[in-house]
Structure 1
Amino acid sequence: MTAAGRPPGPVDAVVAGGGPAGAVAALVLASAGRRVLLLDDGAPRPSPGGRDSFKIGESLPPAARPLLRDLGLLDGFLADGHPPSTGTYAAWGSGALHGISHLFDPDGHGWHLDRLRFDAFLRGAAVAAGAEPYRATVLAHLDGRLTVRERDTGTVGHLRSRWTVDATGRRCVIGRRHGHRHRQDRLVAVYSVFRDRRPSGRDHPRDAEARTLVEAAPDGWWYTTPTPAGRLVAHLTDPDLADPSLRTPRGFWRGITRTDHVRRRLDGYDSAGAPEPCWTPAHGLRVSPAAGPGWVAVGDAALAFDPLSSQGILSALHTGARAGQTVAACLADPDRTAAALADYTAFLDGIADAYRRNHAHAYGQERRWPAGPFWQRRHAGGRAVPGDTPARR
């Protein structure tokens, strides 16, 4: 099977997935002179204001700045005009709000991303470096062969390459066949985006708050942040603790009104036009091993984080860049494959260890509801809920 306009013949690497991790891996490999096929499902452009016009995963911390610079992407990224994030407010461990500012961060401020635009920017950079785009979805991986479905024709076929980069997100299509996935807990996120209905102008200022707000609650926690699509509000909890009414716009709005601080950020926003809330898995997840002869996992396929860390996109960029370098080194000198993969695994271990420490510390700071099941589970090490399944939507 060949992509339209792509000359037949073998490729050095297939990158399965066109999110931030996959796009950066493809960029690094193509920049190293390797022939790379970048698989993306090629979803149609969303209609403005439609349900699909927003993608969660909207925070990029200041630490991304030097990495984007090293990748040659910083100027283009800044030109895209993503709104700045100047820090965080948190009601965590007490009912009072505490602020963390980026004012004195050596890397400057962070950003509230338009994820659809950011992902497209990274894919465009990979293609400009020489990666070949292919509109297809990965279905399976067996014996070094990828089974894919072409987006435009629906044709199912097979691809082979010397290396495969698993950037399929939490599906982890390649990695799950080679290792075990370790789920931290059962956390899910239910979220919606609200539009500011106030007219702009001196007498009617629109929402200008540039910080993310996090608020703990008896059955989980909430956060809200401005995005180019509107004000995002999300509730994080376990599926067995989630109020069924959160599945409806009215029920989700009622949940917001029971918060102390998040609800105040919604002053001036119209609940009547809010779309049906979306649900998505949000638990920490790791595949082990995350690399082997002929394949490496990146991004959420390798390490997925609880959103409280605000490190998901940054980790995707870092793991994508490191995986691209690893595969390029293996292609250049096959005798170094074992050592290169060991180095990549050690790199992931370092990220995972830091995440576990920070996660335990963060949840350990909230002790107001010691009898609440959500908090008991996190204070006990985030054990999974027996017999529970993640929400799917």
Structure 2
Amino acid sequence: MAVPAADAGGVAAADYDVVIIGGGPAGAAAAITLRRYGGLRVALVERRPFDPYRPGETVSPALFPLLEYLGIAREGFERQHLRSYAHAAAWGSADLVVRDFLFTGQGSGLHLDRMAFDAMLLDEAARLGAVVLQPAELLRITPGPRWRLALRQRGCALSLSAAYVIDCSGRSSVLVRQQGCPVLQTDRMVGVYAYYPAGMARERLQQTLVETTEQGWFYLAPLPQQRTAVAFMTDAETLRGLDLLDPACWRRHGLATEHIAGLLRDLPEPQAFRQYPIHSRVARLPAQAAWTAAGDAAACFDPISSLGIGHALSSGIHAARVAHAHVGQLEGLGESYRESLLAHFKTYVQTRRGFYSSERRWPQAGFWRRRVNAVDEAVKEPG
């Protein structure tokens, strides 16, 4: 694995074919793909150590082909996470409907340990020869015949150059913003998560639980290492109006539900209480430029769609192919990637509308009305 060497000014410098900004699943998938299938010189820059409290992710068996493409063996991977056997939802009525993964023919899903999952992918990228710089602060990125990136890592200045850059910086979208890329955002949704040490045994059913309210919807999932995540999804305006950033107010709102309340009562004080932006948006990426984006930097989806991790991995893989083609002076992949991303987002918006339209108990509530009405604007191309 190459290591940046100091130049005459004492600044560590190195040249790469591709630099990836962001070390989450999208960035790691791009690095693995470029090293495993392309053999390019790759550096990955992640600004901070991974947070042990991250949004709980429950993934379906459809994730396994992507992991296999990345060289991650299913058997070893499954042992690190908690099996998910079913999904239960009170959506559209107060009745709880349970869908068992047993009847999908693909086996059970998984409740991910996100910290272990992300670390596993980065370790694989490093094993294949990618230079992983974590934590490393990106100070400046300058376009030109070759990109120039100024970093600081553990008090030391670093200077990287690259023929191509992939923005996998999540919702901060460092390069998407810098390059003035048109972005369509369809809502202002936020999620407020509480992370608990597991309480009594009944919430350890190894299934997710979703329940709607007039102002949004709750989500509960067991996590590995005897933890439980409970989240409330709503709009930024509602969040402020109900004072849901106050843990006591948030808990009272949860205790007013029918199904979530029974599990929430058994849980002790949360270990962490976090707010995350979870709005839906898509960027109209360039077709022929020396950069692209993947993961949340390219497109974000409502968590009810369960597209997050799968989109991160698949878009990271596709962005790596675009980068490889560009470095090899091949044309066309950038355009097809951009158009496929926009088409995928349009389909998602139509599907989301149908899903939210099925909840008809609060037709005048702002949260539900906005989700049904957003589709007309959302299917237009940004910019």
Q: TM-score, structure 1 length as denominator? A: 0.86
Unaligned runs of at least 5 residues, structure 2: 7-11, 378-383
**Counterparts of residues 209-248 of structure 1 (less than 5 Å):** 209-228=205-224, 230-242=227-239, 243-248=241-246
Residue type matched to 1:238 in 2? Answer: D
Instruction: Evaluate the alpha carbon distance shift between residue 122 and residue 38 of structure 1 in structure 2; reply closer, same or farther with a 3 A threshold.
Output: same
**Residue 114 of structure 1: aligned partner:** 113
* 2:27 is the alignment partner of 1:22: yes
**Residue 187 of structure 1: aligned partner:** 189
SS at match of 1:23: helix
* 2:43 is the alignment partner of 1:37: yes
Map Cα deviations across residues 201-248 of structure 1 (whole Å, 9 max, x no partner).
xxxx46431111111110111111111251111011111112554223
Residue type matched to 2:283 in 1? Answer: V
Identity, % of aligned positions:
32
Deviation at 1:107, TM superposition (A): 3.0
SS at match of 1:296: strand
What is the alpha-carbon distance in structure 2 between the residues aligned to residue 79 and residue 97 of structure 1? 28
**Residue 267 of structure 2: aligned partner:** 269
Work out whether residues 225 and 232 of structure 1, in 8 Å CA contact, stay in contact via their aligned partners in 2. yes
What is the alpha-carbon distance in structure 1 between the residues aligned to residue 334 and residue 182 of structure 2? 17
Deviation at 1:78, TM superposition (A): 2.0
Map Cα deviations across residues 312-335 of structure 1 (whole Å, 9 max, x no partner).
011000001111122112222x1x
What is the alpha-carbon distance in structure 2 between the residues aligned to residue 140 and residue 367 of structure 1? 49
**Residue 367 of structure 2: aligned partner:** 374
Deviation at 1:298, TM superposition (A): 0.2
What is the alpha-carbon distance in structure 2 between the residues aligned to residue 146 and residue 167 of structure 1? 17
Instruction: Evaluate the alpha carbon distance shift between residue 234 and residue 34 of structure 1 in structure 2; reply closer, same or farther with a 3 A threshold.
Output: same
**Counterparts of residues 1-393 of structure 1 (less than 5 Å):** 8-31=13-36, 32-43=38-49, 52-75=51-74, 78=77, 80-135=79-134, 136-144=136-144, 145-153=147-155, 155=157, 158-176=159-177, 177-198=179-200, 205=201, 207-228=203-224, 230-242=227-239, 243-270=241-268, 273-275=269-271, 277-289=273-285, 292-332=288-328, 334=329, 336-337=330-331, 339-381=332-374
Residue type matched to 1:167 in 2? Answer: C
Work out whether residues 84 and 112 of structure 1, in 8 Å CA contact, stay in contact via their aligned partners in 2. yes
Unaligned runs of at least 5 residues, structure 1: 46-51, 199-204, 385-393
Instruction: Evaluate the alpha carbon distance shift between residue 77 and residue 139 of structure 1 in structure 2; reply closer, same or farther with a 3 A threshold.
Output: farther
Residue type matched to 2:246 in 1? Answer: T
What is the alpha-carbon distance in structure 2 between the residues aligned to residue 151 and residue 10 of structure 1? 17
Work out whether residues 249 and 274 of structure 1, in 8 Å CA contact, stay in contact via their aligned partners in 2. no
Instruction: Evaluate the alpha carbon distance shift between residue 178 and residue 29 of structure 1 in structure 2; reply closer, same or farther with a 3 A threshold.
Output: farther
Map Cα deviations across residues 225-281 of structure 1 (whole Å, 9 max, x no partner).
1112511110111111125542232222211101111112235321xx324521110
Matched pairs, number: 364
Map Cα deviations across residues 160-195 of structure 1 (whole Å, 9 max, x no partner).
210001000111111221411211100000110122
Work out whether residues 248 and 276 of structure 1, in 8 Å CA contact, stay in contact via their aligned partners in 2. no
Aligned residues: CA RMSD: 2.3
Instruction: Evaluate the alpha carbon distance shift between residue 173 and residue 77 of structure 1 in structure 2; reply closer, same or farther with a 3 A threshold.
Output: farther
Deviates more, 1:278-287 or 1:6-15: 6-15
What is the alpha-carbon distance in structure 2 between the residues aligned to residue 268 and residue 153 of structure 1? 46
SS at match of 2:102: coil
SS at match of 2:104: coil
SS at match of 2:229: strand
Work out whether residues 322 and 344 of structure 1, in 8 Å CA contact, stay in contact via their aligned partners in 2. yes
